[in-house]
Amino acid sequence: MIEPTIIYEDKNFLAVNKPSGWLTHEVGHNKSKRAMALTIWLLPRYPGLSKVGDEPKLRPGIVHRLDQETSGIILVPKTQEYFSYLKSLFKERKVKKTYLALVYGTLKNKKGIIEEPIGIKSGTIRRSVGSGKMLKPAATEYKGLREIENAKGEKFSLVEVSPLTGRTHQIRVHLKYLGHPILGDGIYGRKKDKTGRLMLHAVAIEFETSPGKKLRLEADPPADFEEILKSPIPD
């Protein structure tokens, strides 16, 4: 089993590389099963996190999240003071997050910004563009990095993606709307996809650790991500 790794640490916060398949924190329906969750892994190593956060009993130290199947960087503040600082940066959109996504097809426009509101489909966890409850503005910047063609002649694109807003499933929904769902996406992707993991990785994050002091952190895609890049699995 692949475990999280600490890629950066100072007195104020940690930066953790979360593997695909790990929850960011426990939620009610999986507590009895003790699903793999980043908070379970962190607390024995950093017991002080039990007092950090809006709801530290439920989400100790968690100021932002990644979907369970998304791998990559998560920031974890060590103190309540720094939690408040990071929370304000996220709220003010002063944290730049960069992802890598492997998608179906080739991009018509190699770069652009998707600006389409996202809402929740009634009675589901699914999000959709332009309809549903709690419709909110959403914007995602994207840039094609390279195209891949497998032995069957099927084409895929490796895309760099930066969410400019913070909606749930935003990147996954916007790329589907663009006509290029992410490989391995069991909710918004192709039903017969046998990729084995969601091909979305939070590769970099950039923010001011204190006023005027900028830091960029990067986490290389894991081996399973890189392996699929070499030979994408078609649906």
Question: Which residues are the active-site residues?
Answer: 67
Q: In this structure, what DSSP letter does residue 43 have? A: T
Beta bridge partners of 162: 141
* Run of H or E residues at 149: strand 139-149
Helix-then-strand count for the chain, H and E: 4, 12
Q: Are 92 and 144 in contact (CB under 8 A)?
A: no
Give CA angle at 165 (162, 171), nearest 5°.
50
* Rounded Cα distance, 121 and 184, in Å: 21
Neighbours of 108 (CB within 10 A): 10
Structural contact between residues 100 and 159, judged by C-beta atoms closer than 8 angstroms? yes
The answer to whether 56 and 8 are in contact (CB under 8 A) is no
Chain centroid to CA 140: 13
Give the span between the Cα atoms of 188 and 141, in whole angstroms: 19
Q: Which two tokens stand for residue 180?
A: 């290029």
Give the sign of the dihedral formed by CA 168, CA 30, CA 23, CA 54: positive
